[in-house]
Amino acid sequence: MIQRIQTVYWLLVVILSSLTVFMTSVTFMPSDIDLQTSYELKQMNLVGVNDIYSDITTWVSFLLSAMIPVIALITIFLYKKRMMQISFTVANIILMVGYYVLLAITVWSISDALNADWHLHFPVIFPLISIVLSYLALRGVMKDEALVRSLDRLR
C-alpha cells in the first residue's frame, strides 16, 4: 500500500485539502469609504472583523471541501480494488473542479452583495495542486492495472 507512489500523491491530497477546509480563501474589502471593515470567506461562513455576516453561509462549500480529503483517504485503503480507486479518484477530481465553480459563484455573489473588491489567498491554489496530484495517482493506478492485465495474459 505505502510502497506505491499513488499513496504518496493521495496523502498529499489529503493534507492539502484538509488545509483548504480550515484556512481563509478570499478577503472582501468593501468599496465604500466609510466602511473600513473587511470580510474573510472561510469554508463555513463569511466572517467580518467583529461579527459574522449572517446573510451568507457557505455550508455547501464546506461539505464539498470536507468530502475531498475523506474520499482521498478512503481511496488509499482500496489498494486491492484498482478499478474502484480509479472511479474514486475521478470523482474526487470532479469534486475539486466543482469546488472551484462553487467558489467562483460564491465570490461573485458576495462581492455583488457587499459591493466589495475581493483578494484571493494562497489556499485557493491547494485544490489545483490536488487535481494534478490526483491525476498523477490516477495514471499510476492505470499503469498498475495495465501491468496486472498483461501478466494475466501470460499465464
What are the pLDDT digits (tens) for 108-144?
888 887 788 888 889 899 999 999 999 999 999 999 8
H/E stretch holding 26 reads: strand 26-30
**Residue 55 identity (one-letter amino acid):** D
pLDDT at residue 72 tops 60: yes
Q: Is the pTM of this model over 0.75?
A: yes
Half-sphere exposure of 52 (CA within 13 A, CB side): 9
Q: Please report the domains of the chain, with CATH numbers, ordered by start residue.
A: 5-143 (1.20.140)
Cα 26 to Cα 41: distance, rounded to the nearest angstrom: 5
Closest C-alpha among 42, 61, 44, 56 to residue 99: 61
Amino acid 155: pLDDT = 57
